Amino acid sequence: MKTEKSQELANKIRQTAVEMVHRAKASHIGGALSMADILAVLYEEVMAIFPDNPSDPRRDRFLLSKGHACTALYAVLAHKGFFPLKELESYSLDGSRLLSHTSHKVPGIELSTGSLGHALGVACGMGLAAKRQNKSFHTYCMVSDGELNEGSNWEAILFAPHHQLGNLTLIVDYNKIQSFGTVEEVLNLEPLHSKFIAFGWEVLEIDGHQHSDILKALKNSKIDTARPTVIIAHTIKGKGVSFMENKLLWHYRSPSDQDLEIAKREIQP
């Protein structure tokens, strides 16, 4: 499978996201970088998108539940032409619609998020509507690992297989670090794979930075039409910038001028 284009897009997402948090002195770059490759493959190779008409009914739906990592989503949408790249410079600044948690006022964004554990249930509703109306769009929902602490997610994880939502794909950005420590320390999710199996999901486990793996899994997730698919994507928080990788600190810290310079150099393809 050719992945040059998605690789190139992932680099652009990373570059742009780091610039955005630097300019706005904002947080949450680590979790934006960990999902950049998955977003790149989704928007470059997998989803039906209509940048000139973001609400086209034929579009595939993408819901980012981990709304704090919105810089990567804003970046991919701007790079795909949903709105001008220039607007990204206003991120989180006075009067901007680019809030520092995902906002549905921005073209291409289905659902505002920021409070964790909300999007998967909404995605279930969209998948259910597609089934009931015989529509062929697919719904994707990306959650963080930490937000699987939320009970609301497990209500939805029960619901989706019961209603045979084969048109729903859940992606877990499993970077193993949440706000206050590692997932293992705070509230262990393991064995995550077998939990989803027990709940009735089709489970795929991948390296969330290998584009060919990501593409294959996303394509496979459409095959089983009777069961929803979860892609457990093993990722690295801060991926692509050496001093941010696997560091809890970069859930919070905003890059300095010097950090930005190094980061941009490292992200070059």
Partner 1 sequence: MRTAFIEQLILEARINPKIFLLVGDLGFSVVEPFAKEFPDRFINVGIAEQNMTAVASGLAMEGYTVFTYSIANFPTLRCMEQIRYDVCYHNLDVKIVAVGAGYAYASLGPSHHATEDIGMLRTIPGLTIASPGDPLEARRLTTLLSRNPGPAYLRLGKAGEAVVHPAEPEIRMGKPVLVKDGKETAVFATGSILKYAHDQLKDEKRDWALFSFPVIKPIDGEALLPVFKKFNMIICIEEHQLSAGFGSAVLEKANDLLQAGLLEKFPHINRVGIQDEFISIAGTQDFIRNRAGLVL
Q: Give the nearer residue to partner 1 in terms of CB position, either 73 or 217.
A: 73
> Measuring CA to CA, which residue among 67, 74, 91, 61 is closest to residue 14?
74
Q: Give the nearer residue to partner 1 in terms of CB position, either 114 or 212.
A: 114
Cα–Cα distance between 174 and 60 in angstroms, integer? 23
In DSSP terms, 203 is beta-bridged to 230
Cβ 121 to partner 1, closest distance in Å? 3
Q: Give the nearer residue to partner 1 in terms of CB position, either 84 or 151.
A: 151
Cβ 124 to partner 1, closest distance in Å? 5
Site string for partner 1, 92-121 (x = CB under 8 A): ------------x-----xxx-xx-xx-xx
Cβ 160 to partner 1, closest distance in Å? 10
C-alpha to C-alpha distances, 96 to 47, 87, 93, 119, nearest whole angstrom? 27, 9, 6, 23
Burial of 25 (0-12, 13-18, 19+ CB in 10 A): exposed
Of 163, 195, 222, 264, which lies in the binding site for partner 1, with binding defined by CB under 8 A? Answer: 163
Taking each helix axis from N to C terminus, what angle separates 4-24 and 257-267, rounded to the nearest 10 degrees? Answer: 180
C-alpha to C-alpha distances, 114 to 106, 124, 147, nearest whole angstrom? 15, 18, 11
**Residues 175 to 214 in contact with partner 1, rule: CB under 8 A:** none
Cβ 157 to partner 1, closest distance in Å? 9
- What contacts 185, CB < 8 A, 6 or more positions away? none
**Residues 131 to 160 in contact with partner 1, rule: CB under 8 A:** 132-133, 151-152, 155-156, 158-159
Cβ 133 to partner 1, closest distance in Å? 7
Total residues contacting partner 1 by CB under 8 A comes to: 28
Query: Angle 147-151-156 (CA atoms, 0-180°, nearest 5)?
Result: 90
126 touching partner 1, by CB under 8 A: yes
Strand 181-182 versus strand 177-178 pairing type = antiparallel
Q: Give the nearer residue to partner 1 in terms of CB position, either 56 or 184.
A: 56
Residues found near partner 1 in the complex (CB under 8 A): 104, 110-112, 114-115, 117-118, 120-130, 132-133, 151-152, 155-156, 158-159, 163
